[in-house]
Structure 1
Amino acid sequence: MDNDARLLAFYYGEGHDHKGRHLDDIWALSSFWLEHTHDYIQWLFPIPEAGRFNGFAPLLTPKIQAAFEHEARLRQHQQRSLDVMLAFYGLQRDDSVITAQPTLSIQTYNWLKAGGHNHLRITRIIRSLALCHQPNIASALQHAVIDNGTRHGVVSETSIQFWRNAI
Structure 2
Amino acid sequence: MAEPIREFLRGEGRDGRGRLLADVLAFDDARIEAVHDFIQWLFPLPDPSQAVPGSPVLGTAEAAAIRADPQALEGFRAALERMTRFYAGTDHWLVRFDHNHRRITRIIAATRALLGREEAARFHAAVAARDAAEGGVIDLASRRYWERALG
Q: State the TM-score, normalizing by the size of structure 2.
A: 0.91
Match of 2:84, as an amino acid? L
Partner residue, 2:64: 66
**CA apart distance, 1:133:** 3.0
Structure 2 unmatched ranges of 5 or more: none
Partner of 2:112: helix, strand, or coil?
helix
Q: Give me the identity figure in percent.
A: 32
Moved over 4 A (4+): none
Q: Which has the higher strand share?
A: 1
**CA apart distance, 1:60:** 1.2
In 2, Cα distance between equivalents of 1:32 and 1:148:
19
Match of 1:77, as an amino acid? G
CA contact (8 A) 2:131 2:138 kept: yes
Structure 1 unmatched ranges of 5 or more: 91-103
Of residues 54, 57, 62 in structure 1, which corresponds to 2:55?
A: 57
In 1, Cα distance between equivalents of 2:4 and 2:47:
17
CA contact (8 A) 2:5 2:41 kept: yes
Partner of 1:166: helix, strand, or coil?
helix
Q: State the TM-score, normalizing by the size of structure 1.
A: 0.83
Partner residue, 1:127: 109
**CA apart distance, 1:50:** 1.0
Matched, 1:156 2:139: yes
In 2, Cα distance between equivalents of 1:150 and 1:137:
20
Match of 1:61, as an amino acid? G
Q: Which has the higher helix share?
A: 2
Number of residue equivalences? 149
Per-residue CA shift, 1:66-88, capped at 9, x if unaligned?
Answer: 11221222222111001111111
CA RMSD of aligned residues (A): 1.5
In 2, Cα distance between equivalents of 1:14 and 1:88:
24
Per-residue CA shift, 1:51-71, capped at 9, x if unaligned?
Answer: 122222211111122112212
CA contact (8 A) 1:65 1:133 kept: no
Written as runs of structure 1 = structure 2, the 5 A alignment for 1:83-94 is 83-90=81-88
